[in-house]
Amino acid sequence: MRHLQKFKLLYISIFISVILTINSYSIFAQVFNNGQNPPSLKWQQINTENYQVIFPTGLEKEAERTANVLEHLYNYVGKSLKTKSRKISIILQNQSTVSNGFVTLAPRHSEFYTTPPQDLEPNNWINSLAIHELRHVVQIDKTTSGINIPLIEEIQFALFGGVFPIWFIEGDAVVTETALTSSGRGRLPDWEKEFRGNVLSGKNYSYSKHYFGSLKDNIPDYYHLGYYMAAKMRRDYSDSVFNSIFTRAKNKFYIPWPFSNSLKHHTGFNTNQFYYQTVKELGNKWENQLNSTQSVNYSTINKRKNDVATDYFLPKALNENEIVCIKKGLADVSTFFKIDIKTGKETSILTMGPQLSPHFDLKQNILIWDEIRFDPRYQYRNYSVICTYNLKTKEFKQLTKKSKYFSPSLSADGKTVVCVQVTENNQFNLVILDRETGNIIKTIDNPKNYFLQTPAFNADGNMIAYAVSDNHGRNLAVYDLSQLKETLLLDWNFKQSLRPSFYQNQLFYHSSYTGIDNIFKLDLASKSIKQLTYSSSGAYNATVDLLYKRLLFNNFSYRGQDISLIPLDKGNIIEVKETPSAFINYYQPIVAREHGKSVLDSFPNNSYKISTYKEGLHLINFHSLSPYAMSGDNDNYTAGISLKSNNLLNTMSVTLGYTYDNSVKSGEYNASIAYKKYYPIFSLNYTNRKRVAVFDSVINQQTFYRQFNFRENRADLSITVPLSFYKANFNYSIGLTSKLSYISRYNIENGPQDFIKEIKFPIDNTLYFYRTSRSSARDINPKWGQQISLRYNSFPLDDNLDGSIFTLESTFLFPGIIKHHSFLVSFNYQNNTGVFRNAIEIPQASGASYFNRTAPLENSLLFRYRFPLFYPDWELGRFAYIKRFKGGLFTDFENINNAGELKSYGLELRADCNLLRFYLPQFDIGTKMILFANKSIQSPAFELIFNFSL
């Protein structure tokens, strides 16, 4: 009975937490639904003792190096948790420009996206990624150790996510990557700046606010919260206690908040109390750091109107009185702005598309930057393209297509572009492009394959400066185009030195030499380094205004990046090797408990056998029996049981399920298979279920209604082409679905004699088009949007049935009166004939359930005006955290061509919140008051709003 009770509680935990993929360097995503690769890719594999590395052809060299790194790390990543992981598959993804990685069960595997980010810390990207992701593998395997039952991966993953808050999962992985290497995010002053800024500014933010975020204040993601709290656990207590906290939490999974309970059991503090202990200690350390360093307060050019978190990135001089920057924040999507230096007046120039890292350059009135472009069908394939905008002619141009170019920079005359190119076999090069055509003028070889970052031309266009990274750390380099020679300028180190730019024979860049990022100047002849800024919170993104001899830079504040400028002749010479760092090194006590130094100082260079990975032999991979299944027409989840299969490349999924429908007191069986490798997605679904219906008969001129039962076999074959992509500031989705069905009915009890037992091949076609502008976090809806869906369902191959459904659903979004307000208009139309005469297939007016129709629904017209009210960031104990209250007004009409059969109007009050301290799902909860124009319907009516998103 005790084990049965635990299983019931686990089932509840699964339902509440809706556990999702552990996604490193990114947020959660649903369990393994990331999309597909193009079918032209051929896959190979390396099998080592503890890992299977699966990779595309052409990536053999990187795959073999990765296999050596993985095996080398095997004994290190689980040491503090006293766990060694089971063998797992690692998939190297080389089609994406997005830098990412994750570990998941259902099916069990990990994926590494091989393209590094341009703001990468000083290390090899795959090495850093491997440590972080392998720590997640250890966390999962320790949690599920001893549960050696086949086909329960989904339940094991639910257990993992239900026990441990995501901040701890990710924070522990960041601690591990920091303690085991000479790099890691915990060693970077830049990475701590938001958390540090909030603490030093006296912002007494709650635990929930630092966990779940805010729509008004500059709150870093939960990785930061997790790093400091997990580091404190290991700093203040032995690794055996840390291990005991983990072990007790996973063993006590059936109690409420098991991790917090375990933390309190071993330390005396629950998670909320431990958070305040951590913040108090960090505050003391950062205060001491601040008091021990020289600092200067710099005036800011941008003028903030409020405290909403906003960054003014990468200031560049347009002329003597104006600068251009990227403005981005909770209230703004990335937009180029022009700012008057004297008055701070802001003028919008152009809203840009999505970027991986903020970047642009400006020369000769030409803006140039990189943007992401996605393959419409294959989500794993995306590109980084170069775009330009002429400030005088207002001409936008996408310079390249299907490219992997990053961090473009213009020559002084604006005629050529230098950028970083990443190939599919992870070769990093500098390429020089023609600014008018985008054609490659020159590719600069990189024989040691350093990772290259943020290049820039000198004034004469004959030299290029850039940052380089590899397993030795970070360096700065200059390439002489006339001598075809690269020169490394510094000793290798693990300081975050980035964005070098020329001024005469000097190089300006930002670095973390002193423990706080600031701007430095390197003399290329003498190699002396001079510190130019003394920001107490971090100075970044130095840009030299050559014409007016000014240095523009970002100066961080707790509200975001500001813009400052100083004359070029400021600064003091320092000796970098002898300059003490004031960084608090919060991770330091943990290093000695691990290896004492970087485990990546050296690793083996073994040769491994490479063989073909035959996808066709691995299409079926049953991994989970789940306590829920699809029901009905395959669009609703209900309690039951389902057996699931997904192959590792996510090109085939199979589900076999059973549910019990209590309304008809009978079981329902279903099976589905989807093949997603090619451009169309093919799906075959089968359902066998009991149905209940009613027919009428006339006896003695009186109509009687009788209920009857039957079972139904239904098979649906669907072909879907889903397309999604970005263009400039808009997101597009276009899709076509065609479904062919066959229905057979049997075991008919007391049914009418003319009851149709076979429905032959009805065809249901849907075509949709969505276009929406990108939104800021504060926007209720996108400012602009059009969503149109057409559907036609008929019986062209069945002579026994007559009828059709034609529907048009449309929604149009417009900006409201005030920023972040939204106005929505939805017009919907249906034309139903024959057996579909009384079907309702379009959105209805609010309160339709309170109204008895006298005629079929033909159309509806819905108006919505929604707006934010306020952003309280309320922590209501463990039960709820409320980010935002929202209001709304609405008025709805039905059958408007008949003078409106139903008219309703009213208002709504809603809240965006997290419940029970689960990060996901995020809830939208509220109430809706409905008033009716028809006085015969009782007003007001109230409805509960309960939505959630993952």
pLDDT, residue 17, reads: 35
Q: Which tens digits make up the pLDDT trace of 583-606? A: 999 999 999 999 999 999 888 999
Reduced to 3 states (helix: H, G, I; strand: E, B; else coil), residue 527 is coil
Dihedral sign for Cα 662, 663, 667, 671, please. Answer: negative
Residue 20's pLDDT is: 33
**Residues near 85 by Cβ (< 8 Å), separated by ≥ 6?**
50, 74, 77, 78, 134, 137, 138, 141
Q: Which residue has the higher pLDDT, 63 or 699?
A: 63
Q: What is the pLDDT of residues 761-813, one digit of tens each?
A: 999 999 999 999 999 999 999 999 999 999 999 999 888 888 899 999 999 99
Q: Is the pLDDT of residue 89 over 80?
A: yes
What is the mean predicted confidence (pLDDT) over 70-76?
A: 96
Nearest Cα neighbor of 55 from 97, 89, 87 is 89
Considering the chain, what percentage of its residues have pLDDT values greater than 90? 80
- What DSSP string describes 848-895? GGG---SS---EEEEEEEEEEEE---EEETTTEEEEEEEEEEEEEEE-
C-alpha span between 941 and 906 (Å, rounded): 9
What does the block give as tokens for 911? 């809240």
Report residue 510's pLDDT band, with 50, 70 and 90 as the boundaries: very high
Q: Letter for the amino acid at 30?
A: Q
Mean pLDDT of 83-101: 95
Which residue has better confidence, 31 or 121? 121
Whose CA is closest to 136, among 163, 107, 159, 109? 109
Residues 492 and 124: their CA atoms lie apart, in Å, by 13
Query: What is the pLDDT confidence band of residue 468, given thresholds at 50, 70 and 90?
Result: very high
Is a pLDDT exceeding 50 seen at residue 820? yes
Task: In whole angstroms, give the CA distance from residue 713 to residue 743.
Answer: 6
pLDDT at 270 over 50: yes
Helices (H), 32-165: 60-73, 125-144, 153-163
The pLDDT assigned to 573 comes to 66
Alpha carbon distances (Å) from 265 to 241, 268, 362, 482: 11, 6, 57, 67
What would the mean pLDDT of 884-908 be, rounded to a whole number? 89
Per-residue confidence (pLDDT) for residue 30, from 0 to 100? 38
Summarize the confidence of residues 293-309 as an average pLDDT: 93
Between 133-142, 571-580, 896-905, the lowest mean confidence (pLDDT) is in 571-580
5/883 Cα distance (integer angstroms): 35
Residue 5 in this model has a pLDDT that exceeds 90? no
Residue 35 burial (CB < 10 Å; 0-12/13-18/19+)? middle
pLDDT of amino acid 756: 84
Mean pLDDT, residues 865-876: 96
E strand or H helix that includes residue 291: helix 271-291
**From CA 138, how far away is CA 737, in angstroms rounded?**
42
Query: What is the pLDDT, as a whole number, of residue 949?
Result: 86
pLDDT class for 838, splitting at 50, 70, 90?
Answer: confident
CA of 169: how far to CAs of 264, 322, 353, 419, 614, in Å?
A: 18, 46, 32, 36, 34
Closest to 407 (Cα-Cα) out of 370, 442, 438: 370
What confidence score (pLDDT) does residue 10 get? 36
Question: What's the pLDDT at 13?
Answer: 36
Q: How confident is the model at residue 14 (pLDDT cuts 50, 70, 90)?
A: very low
User: 935 and 902 in contact (C-beta within 8 Å)?
Assistant: no
Q: Which helix (H) or strand (E) holds 236?
A: helix 222-236
- Give the model's pLDDT for residue 470: 92
Burial of 2 (0-12, 13-18, 19+ CB in 10 A): exposed
> Is the pLDDT reported for residue 635 higher than 80?
no
| 499 has pLDDT over 80 | yes
Can you give the pLDDT at residue 148? 78
Neighbours of 919 (CB within 10 A): 18
The pLDDT score that the predictor gives to residue 637 is 65
pTM of the complete model: 0.93
Tokens of 810: 């449309």
Residue 330: pLDDT over 90: yes
CB atoms within 10 A of CB 742: 17
pLDDT on residue 18: 36
The reported pLDDT for the residue numbered 703 is 64
Task: Using the structure block, give the residue that is written with the tokens 């964005």.
Answer: 499
Residues in the chain: 950
| pLDDT > 80? residue 469 | yes
For the segment 669-686, the average pLDDT, to the nearest whole number, is: 96
> What is residue 632's predicted lDDT score, i.e. its pLDDT?
58
| In the chain, % of residues over pLDDT 70 | 93
Mean residue pLDDT of the chain comes to 91
Task: Give the model confidence (pLDDT) of 524-576 as tens digits.
Answer: 999 999 999 999 999 999 999 888 889 999 999 999 999 999 988 766 666 66
Contact between 509 and 497 under an 8 Å Cβ cutoff? The reply is yes
Establish how many alpha carbons lie within 13 A of residue 443's alpha carbon, considering only the half-sphere containing its beta carbon.
12
Task: Output the pLDDT for position 576.
Answer: 66
